[in-house]
Amino acid sequence: MASIGHGGSGFSINARDITNIGRDQVTHYHASSPLTVQLVSPDGRQALANPWTYDPLPIPCPNDPNLHGSVRYSLLLLSKREGYPLWYPQPKAKLPPEYRTTGVRIGDVGIVRSNTPFDYLFNVCQAANHPINSYGVPDGFIAISEEDVELSHSAEDIYRNPGTPVVVPGSIKLETDGTGDTNQVYRFTSPDAQGAILVLPDGSWREEVANIALFQRYAQKHSEKWF
């Protein structure tokens, strides 16, 4: 990477990274690995077209001043490695009541956008006629058996107590006023220039798949029908 003196500016690129430097602002973008797509015959023996390569957009740096707040929030909380931080965690009101009761769950297929609720489509761990799949499922749909899903964390265990905040960076300090009821007041202070805070008034539980390869194989086999 290039080295720029104080007060200078520059732009440098290598195979994986882009760094823009100007005065006291350094914005680093990490390039995602390119994806090569090859269409093949059903038996996998013959190519049906020339392969093409898709280069995903670089992963932005949280300190980029031009980032939307929702993107900055997600990037910061992703460092907790506890799933994707949704800017709007509440399920859409038009979804089936059976889905909204729990919200996002293991097996959901949908679209994640930085500044809108999760766009739920269907769940691969429930039968086609299950209420949460009332929007419909792909042709030839076969659900993953719940008996085959191994969990390393159970939803029966409380993961975070009610009122617990999730903060990044860890230097953010919390002060509270009140008695823990609906009038609870939170004050957050931090010496850092930016941060992300998620307050969980009802606490949280956690589920995590242990045999993730089961879902990877399932997606490889069926995802063509999801588009």
Higher pLDDT, 158 or 210: 210
Sign (positive or negative) of CA dihedral 148, 152, 155, 156: positive
Under DSSP, is residue 156 helix (H, G, I), strand (E, B) or coil?
coil
pLDDT at 7: 37
The number of helices, as runs of H, and strands, as runs of E, in the chain is: 3, 15
Q: Any idea which residue has 């460092």 for tokens?
A: 79
Residue 178 banded pLDDT, cuts 50, 70, 90: low
pLDDT at 136: 94
pLDDT tens readout for residues 68-114: 889 899 999 998 888 889 999 889 999 999 999 989 999 999 999 88
Domain spans of the chain, in order of start: 1-61, 92-153+207-227
Burial classification of residue 137, based on how many CB atoms lie within 10 Å of its CB (0-12 exposed, 13-18 middle, 19 or more buried): buried
